[in-house]
Structure 1
């Protein structure tokens, strides 16, 4: 079969699929303390980005990179993400209480929450997130506005991950891998001139 090495049962695409699943499972485990979720997803994106350059995308490499990088800034990013989710949940709960103008408020809060989620996920995919969260968030916020198609792809990837986890709960432990691959692929669409390839 084309694309196979001698003695190889599966091609490189199947190997990448298996690597994505193993990195996804490692990411799910690393996300369990909740505050480590941004660092865990950022590390998954870095490992998958490295696969493009010929570096192995394995769970062992993932945990080695995660151990080297966990720092105060990573935990602060996790605390900020948790605080944002709690604030959004509280706002939506208040909107559901039947206050005047609740419908408009709920739509506005959901739109802001979706933009923040897309920006946060795109920040995790940025290489800068390994060392400087502020720079990663700044660039991701800029990319989220300039690359509306990419932002829509990130939303679609999140919706797919949530739907898979809702349909079959054990898939929730594998979902971070394909999600990391999706946001990394969206970030890699940027050409040498800095413009996103449609």
Structure 2
């Protein structure tokens, strides 16, 4: 129950920190880092969240936020034009939605990676690779997004708490990927030791 309460407080802190929109990627990345620390017996509190966010917020985070915002506006505009009944719109809407979903999954997985605290490019490269190699994890991220959107749609006040469970979900997918990779490496090492 303590983790559940911490997730909700971190979610509320993330929602508040994301209000300027340009800070949304850094806010979610910080939430993932704070929740990952709970596994390592570090407190996952809103106070720790704001302390970490204050230390790490830099020009690269704001530039990443501007890029994400521009991409979201471009996708929303394209889908709005497709919905306006332009010729060929149904054929265009499907690939545009698929590209948007892939970008969303990659972006969320990048926020969950440890590298996002210091180097967004490395985090995005790793997340893109993971999104392709770990299709199950990408599906879990999409399900987490759908759940967060559905909760926010059903009860608007939940929109301010939704970033916490979403951050927990993408962090869990990233931890799952790390532990799966570690397990495969150990299995290969054991095979090499026992197979002549």
The reply to whether TM is greater than 0.5 is yes
TM-superposed CA distance for 1:141, in Å, is: 0.4
Measured against aligned partners, the alpha-carbon deviations of 1:148-182 in whole angstroms (never above 9, x if no partner) come to 00000000000000000000000000000000000
Flag the structure with higher helix content. Answer: 2
Correspondence 1:132 to 2:116 = no
Residue aligned with 1:194, SS: helix
Measured against aligned partners, the alpha-carbon deviations of 1:94-124 in whole angstroms (never above 9, x if no partner) come to 1112222211100000000000000000000
Residue aligned with 2:54, SS: helix
TM-superposed CA distance for 1:132, in Å, is: 0.1
The residue correspondences of 1:47-86 to structure 2 (distance < 5 A) are: 47-86=34-73
Q: Name the residue aligned to 1:10.
A: none
| Count of residues in correspondence between the two structures | 184
Q: Name the residue aligned to 2:168.
A: 181
| Structure 1 residue runs of 4 or more that deviate by more than 4 Å after TM superposition | none
CA RMSD across the alignment? 1.4
Distance 1:126 1:174 in 2: 21
Mark the CA change 1:196 to 1:143 in structure 2 (over 3 Å): closer, same or farther: farther
TM-score, reference length from structure 2: 0.91
Structure 2: gaps of 5 or more residues:
185-196
Distance 1:114 1:150 in 2: 14
Structure 1: gaps of 5 or more residues:
1-13
Correspondence 1:172 to 2:153 = no
Residue aligned with 2:87, SS: coil
TM-score, reference length from structure 1: 0.90
